[in-house]
Amino acid sequence: MSSAMFSMRASHGTALAPEGSTILCDSMYNKSDFFHKHLLSFKRNHVLSNLAHLSVSQRDRIQCSSLEVESKRTFLKGDKFQLQDVIEGQQFDRDILSAIFEVAREMETIEKKSRGSQLLNGYLMATLFYEPSTRTRLSFESAMKRLGGEVLTTENAREFSSAAKGETLEDTIRTVEGYTDIIVMRHFESGAARRAAMTANIPVINAGDGPGEHPTQALLDVYTIQREIGKLDGIKVGLVGDLANGRTVRSLAYLLAKYNDVKVYFVSPEVVKMKEDIKEYLTSKGVQWEESSDLKEVASKCDVVYQTRIQRERFGERSDLYEEARGKYIVDREVLDVMQKHAVVMHPLPRLDEDTLECIKGLTGRTPWLESVLKSLITVDVDADPRAAYFRQAKNGLYIRMALLKLLLLGW
Amino acid sequence: MSSAMFSMRASHGTALAPEGSTILCDSMYNKSDFFHKHLLSFKRNHVLSNLAHLSVSQRDRIQCSSLEVESKRTFLKGDKFQLQDVIEGQQFDRDILSAIFEVAREMETIEKKSRGSQLLNGYLMATLFYEPSTRTRLSFESAMKRLGGEVLTTENAREFSSAAKGETLEDTIRTVEGYTDIIVMRHFESGAARRAAMTANIPVINAGDGPGEHPTQALLDVYTIQREIGKLDGIKVGLVGDLANGRTVRSLAYLLAKYNDVKVYFVSPEVVKMKEDIKEYLTSKGVQWEESSDLKEVASKCDVVYQTRIQRERFGERSDLYEEARGKYIVDREVLDVMQKHAVVMHPLPRLDEDTLECIKGLTGRTPWLESVLKSLITVDVDADPRAAYFRQAKNGLYIRMALLKLLLLGW
Amino acid sequence: MSSAMFSMRASHGTALAPEGSTILCDSMYNKSDFFHKHLLSFKRNHVLSNLAHLSVSQRDRIQCSSLEVESKRTFLKGDKFQLQDVIEGQQFDRDILSAIFEVAREMETIEKKSRGSQLLNGYLMATLFYEPSTRTRLSFESAMKRLGGEVLTTENAREFSSAAKGETLEDTIRTVEGYTDIIVMRHFESGAARRAAMTANIPVINAGDGPGEHPTQALLDVYTIQREIGKLDGIKVGLVGDLANGRTVRSLAYLLAKYNDVKVYFVSPEVVKMKEDIKEYLTSKGVQWEESSDLKEVASKCDVVYQTRIQRERFGERSDLYEEARGKYIVDREVLDVMQKHAVVMHPLPRLDEDTLECIKGLTGRTPWLESVLKSLITVDVDADPRAAYFRQAKNGLYIRMALLKLLLLGW
């Protein structure tokens, strides 16, 4: 479902719509009423024509969600609201985030303690990837299998819509939903996940749609901050690197705005500064922010230093600026030395910039030791420090995805 | 086994060869005796040399099937014949089809009611795809996993026979059969599935071999007609679109000839008319057929309107004829309006022709609503009608494949 | 762990270091102390910084293996030494080989008798392939699934280190180890497996690293000789074909040197003779060897004729020598006729040389019979002879891999 990510399971006679239940009102991707109207009537027609072939539980769910479209209720713990799809980070408010993080924490226990959980035994997930993203795919597939579920894999979904076998995304979804219980989709087009969720009668998780959203990355970033620092209210976060083009840091800034007394520092080369829309949004939400070009000074004050990659092509002809930027915003031992004891370094990974990689490729007989000497945006000598949180952050992606699969398939 | 798809399990002392037990006599792909003789002696030698390493049940099966080659017995319900391989639609007579459809119906119940069937627990299926066909592969893999079985996947089987790792299909099969219990093979060469089945000591299912056969598609089409209309004897079927080149409609016509009082309408542009061999075959089997260029008139009389894609390249230079054909044979609301209440529209999917796809690709911000406006061979506004059976047809592919896997691995 | 493939589990109070416990001293790939020192200190730092996040058993294991680095103990049956990684054939001495072969034999029973072993239920293996090798991948994945384990697959691991997503192997490993319990890696660079094992806190199996090692192939070759001939001491092995470039025959020669009274015959064209290093190594180990150009004479004396492919490019401009070599070293019925009754023909597969494949490709309507007429390095008419062991050899790969997975995940 596009405009109602949550629906109520029929546990209470009346639907509650408490204050602040505006899941989508701060969405960056508001669609016109025209669009929604057509989508919804389309979905309804589709639903009606197919009701005869649905199980009772499926039918209930659909009627329920049709109802929810108008009321736009939010999640209330204890009221057994059902998470239907995961399309964008903005669909979650802080209560839902908090509830998801609790489940993620339970997943940590399951993954570490119990060999062979059977929680999702008998459930089937399809990873429908229109472009390869091995890291994200393996993380989702591991999550499903750690819970006893099974997986259908394709990194070749583009074949569905190839010239020879032309097919709309909608038709592909209606076919694939017949084979599986949940679809995890990676697509090259912004908005593709929403279209898939609109069409599907089973849950859809957006595993990245082009320059659009990558909500599970956003969730795992916030979860990591909570896990590492112990809180989200009152934290100080330094966002470092290419802030203009980074989907990750933009999503993170948006989600942080849901918490109180947050302070954000933007540390970036002039050419790739954080854009105005985010700054205005933060201001409107009462989040303090500051721009700085002094990484060490910021690092000394922050709970989290969130580093991202800097890409040469963003600098166009100005390779001089690029070279300057590369050298200036590196997290190394010197930066670590000024950081507080409880603070952490995060990175969405992979951490190397292209030039460093090119440089390493040219070397023969290279060793981890050698690589640590080479300049990267986080130098390898940082890895040994307990404050280097980026591999734990990647692992948290597993727990977040386990939690979402559990919630989408079994409910709270 | 190539020329005997069925063998008897040792449940009766004597082998029955009742009248009409001529599975292969109406095959479109008769091979010369010379070919068969060599294949069979080859298989026997291979069998003998390997007997020492086979389990008792494997040995029984092979000796049995060697015996069967000569007698060419057919399936007799209650006599516990064993389905060995699925190579071509023509290997099935109406009794076997009926028995398979009963099992498919049971599979519907299993898929809908029981979470996590363990019927094929411990069995392993290899999808050996020499060319990608994501739709077919996912359908087979879902079928196996819905029954509790496991899957080894490759869409990269061409690598086996690449220049660097040159290997005959036979050697590949003899290696892969050591890793798995059943092979589902897609190949680019006609006849490849038969060669694989000849070589393998485990069951082989043909998931399409080039311009050759795609028997599971043929089965699911016939199954869908039975499920939707409730009968196969006495039905009226309109085959629409490119009938000259469509493997699907040709196979369907062949299988329909096994039933009584069937009437077939061919509705196609002049350039891609149904070929004479099929017409002669239908006539020889007492099936009435008629050619027409009036889709609406045919649709008003049929139980099933079976639409297929029309491909531009089939029209060569005559793009004027192509354009005319595209416009003329579209199933839209107007066609639906003349159809009977109980009738259905079927399509092997994907449904879009290339030009429509090109057209859609050029548009930004497209929506399902927009797409429904665009001309396709089945317009999107048809989807909402209960008579639009094509997505249920795709789902039936799952049940047919579940049934075949069950029958090949466990027997009746 | 790079230089200590085995560590002791804490079952005895004292560590035993008996005579001859020199696992790595005859390694072909000795690294400088400098290299080791850096690797080890790196590993230790990494270990320390991550201890907080490891389970108790993981921590024990790491401390244990750090300890083992210095003492270089070997495997002692009954003392519960733990196999940690499989990186190169040379890491195994004959006691370990013998113990692994016993487990492989148990695996044969499991694979043949019990449908659905649950031995590795709840364990997850990642096949991290930087280049496709469908045969090897399917063999490993079948091994894991035959034991009830689950698999994460990628043949697309190169994507991790692509220009766009530049990442060092070390970073990839540290991410992937968070998703799985064991990594099976295929890489295009020699030494990559060792680097991966150094980094990972979970077991790593080398499934081939470029021109480097392919230890599971070496193990299955030796296992096959033992299974087929019944012994390893005192055997006579003829290595035939391209001996200069074949990784397989070189590894096999090395492993055979661990047994007593072995005699090796080298049968090859002059241009691709076995290199001096291996001959010297064999001599130093007391293994008799002899060069010959008379395949029949050698075949009549050997227990094992081990055939390999001859590649045209190795002959450079001398295509005349290539043609001569191709014709001269073919195992056909005539060679079989002179072989002893108990002897076997082995081949790592695939068996065709490129020219034969090219020749076959050009033919239409080819059949196994036709192919048997064509010259290949082992003609198809050999297949029917019980002494043709190459498909059983491929199958033994499954048992060896099942054994290694069991040993690495569960111990002895």
ipTM computed for the complex: 0.80
Q: CB-based contact (8 Å) between A29 and chain B? A: no
Task: Using the structure block, give the residue that is written with the tokens 């390249």.
Answer: B313
Active site residue B392: no
pLDDT for the residue C165:
58
Active site residue C36: no
Residue type, C262: V
Instruction: Work out the pLDDT band at A316, boundaries 50, 70, 90.
Output: confident
Q: Is the peptide bond before A203 cis (omega within 30 degrees of 0)?
A: no
Other beta carbons less than 10 A from residue A19's beta carbon: 6
Cα-based angle C375, C376, C378 (whole degrees, multiple of 5): 120
Q: CB-based contact (8 Å) between C158 and chain B? A: no
Instruction: Work out the pLDDT band at B164, boundaries 50, 70, 90.
Output: low
User: Is residue B390 predicted with pLDDT exceeding 90?
Assistant: yes
Return the closest-CA partner of residue B393 out of B135, B212, B120, B37.
Answer: B135
Active site residue C326: no
- Show residues of chain A in contact with B394, CB under 8 Å: 174-175, 178
Residue B223 CA: distances (Å) to CA of A29, B271, C62, C240: 44, 30, 59, 55
Can you tell me the distance from the alpha carbon of B329 to that of C125, in angstroms, rounded to the nearest whole number?
Answer: 51
The CA distance from B292 to the nearest CA of chain C, in Å, is: 38
- Type and span of the H or E element at B327: helix B319-328
Nearest Cβ partner of B175 from C133, C155, C394?
C394
Can you tell me the distance from the alpha carbon of A297 to that of C305, in angstroms, rounded to the nearest whole number?
Answer: 71
Task: Using the structure block, give the residue that is written with the tokens 């008798």.
Answer: C113
If you measure CA to CA, which chain B residue comes closest to A54?
A: B112
Instruction: Work out the pLDDT band at A372, boundaries 50, 70, 90.
Output: very low
**For residue A258, what are its two tokens?**
């849901």
pLDDT for the residue B376:
54
Range name among A336-345, B399-408, C22-31, C316-325 with the lowest pLDDT average: C22-31
Can you tell me the distance from the alpha carbon of B251 to that of B214, in angstroms, rounded to the nearest whole number?
Answer: 8
Return the closest-CA partner of residue B140 out of B408, B412, B399, B411.
Answer: B399
Can you tell me the distance from the alpha carbon of A70 to that of A8, in angstroms, rounded to the nearest whole number?
Answer: 13
pLDDT for the residue C181:
97
| Per-residue model confidence as pLDDT tens digits over B172-231 | 999 999 999 999 999 999 999 999 999 999 999 999 998 889 999 999 999 999 999 999
Higher pLDDT, B17 or A406: A406
| Per-residue model confidence as pLDDT tens digits over C264-283 | 999 998 888 999 999 999 99
pLDDT for the residue C328:
78
Can you tell me the distance from the alpha carbon of A51 to that of A34, in angstroms, rounded to the nearest whole number?
Answer: 26
The CA distance from C350 to the nearest CA of chain B, in Å, is: 5
User: Is residue B355 predicted with pLDDT exceeding 70?
Assistant: no
Give the three-state DSSP class for C24.
coil
Taking a C-beta distance cutoff of 8 angstroms, is the pair C222, C254 a contact? no
pLDDT for the residue C76:
44
Can you tell me the distance from the alpha carbon of C236 to that of C289, in angstroms, rounded to the nearest whole number?
Answer: 10
Q: What average pLDDT score do residues C165-194 get?
A: 92
Instruction: Work out the pLDDT band at C412, boundaries 50, 70, 90.
Output: confident
If you measure CA to CA, which chain A residue comes closest to C153?
A: A138
Instruction: Work out the pLDDT band at C247, boundaries 50, 70, 90.
Output: confident
Instruction: Work out the pLDDT band at C164, boundaries 50, 70, 90.
Output: low
User: Is residue C63 predicted with pLDDT exceeding 50?
Assistant: no
- Phi, psi (5° rounding) for residue B153? -115, 135
How is C210-255 classified by DSSP, letter by letter? TTS--HHHHHHHHHHHHHHHS-STT-EEEEES-TTT-HHHHHHHHH
Can you tell me the distance from the alpha carbon of A149 to that of B148, in angstroms, rounded to the nearest whole number?
Answer: 11
User: Is residue B156 predicted with pLDDT exceeding 60?
Assistant: yes
Q: What average pLDDT score do residues A375-403 get?
A: 90
Higher pLDDT, B231 or A54: B231
User: Is residue C28 predicted with pLDDT exceeding 70?
Assistant: no
pLDDT for the residue C167:
78
| Per-residue model confidence as pLDDT tens digits over A179-197 | 999 999 999 999 999 999 9
pLDDT for the residue C325:
73
Q: Which of A212-226, B241-255, C311-325 has the highest mean pLDDT?
A: A212-226
| Contact yes or no for B145 and A124 at CB 8 A | yes
Other beta carbons less than 10 A from residue C223's beta carbon: 22
Can you tell me the distance from the alpha carbon of C269 to that of A185, in angstroms, rounded to the nearest whole number?
Answer: 54
Number of Cα atoms under 13 Å in the Cβ half of residue B263: 12
Can you tell me the distance from the alpha carbon of B175 to that of B196, in angstroms, rounded to the nearest whole number?
Answer: 12
Active-site entry in B37, B77, B135, B231: B135
Q: What percent of chain B has pLDDT over 90?
A: 56
User: Is residue C305 predicted with pLDDT exceeding 80?
Assistant: yes
With a threshold of 0.90, does the pTM exceed it? no
pLDDT for the residue C310:
75
Phi-psi region of C261 (alpha: psi -120 to 50; beta: other; left: phi over 0): left
Taking a C-beta distance cutoff of 8 angstroms, is the pair B224, B391 a contact? no
| Per-residue model confidence as pLDDT tens digits over B303-333 | 999 998 777 777 778 778 777 777 778 899 9
Q: Which of A1-10, A360-369, B347-356, C356-365 has the highest mean pLDDT?
A: B347-356
pLDDT for the residue A162:
60
| Per-residue model confidence as pLDDT tens digits over A265-293 | 999 988 889 999 999 999 999 999 999 99
Phi-psi region of A57 (alpha: psi -120 to 50; beta: other; left: phi over 0): alpha
User: Is residue B382 predicted with pLDDT exceeding 60?
Assistant: yes
Instruction: Work out the pLDDT band at C34, boundaries 50, 70, 90.
Output: very low
Q: What percent of chain A has pLDDT over 90?
A: 56
Higher pLDDT, B363 or C404: C404
User: Is residue C342 predicted with pLDDT exceeding 60?
Assistant: yes
User: Is residue B369 predicted with pLDDT exceeding 90?
Assistant: no
Cα-based angle B102, B105, B108 (whole degrees, multiple of 5): 160
How is A82-151 classified by DSSP, letter by letter? EE--B--GGG--HHHHHHHHHHHHHHHHHHHH-SS--TTTT-EEEEEESS--HHHHHHHHHHHHHTT-EE
Taking a C-beta distance cutoff of 8 angstroms, is the pair C407, C100 a contact? yes
Task: Using the structure block, give the residue that is written with the tokens 């090897």.
Answer: C136
**Chains in contact with A, counting 3 or more C-beta pairs less than 8 Å apart as contact:** B, C
Instruction: Work out the pLDDT band at B33, boundaries 50, 70, 90.
Output: very low
* Residue B300 exposed, middle or buried by CB count within 10 Å (0-12, 13-18, 19+): middle
Active site residue B279: no
Q: What average pLDDT score do residues A358-364 get?
A: 47
Bridge partners of residue A207, in order along the sequence = none
pLDDT for the residue C79:
47
The mean pLDDT value of chain B amounts to 78
User: Is residue A319 predicted with pLDDT exceeding 70?
Assistant: yes
Active-site entry in B214, B236, B401, B406: B214
User: Is residue A152 predicted with pLDDT exceeding 60?
Assistant: yes
pLDDT for the residue A376:
54
Range name among A4-18, B196-210, B395-409, C68-82 with the lowest pLDDT average: A4-18
Q: Among residues 214-273 of chain A, which lie with CB inside 8 Å of chain C?
A: none
If you measure CA to CA, which chain A residue comes closest to C38?
A: A369
Q: Which of A37-46, B67-76, C246-255, C374-383 has the highest mean pLDDT?
A: C246-255
**For residue A62, what are its two tokens?**
């659909």
Looking at residue B344, what DSSP letter applies? E
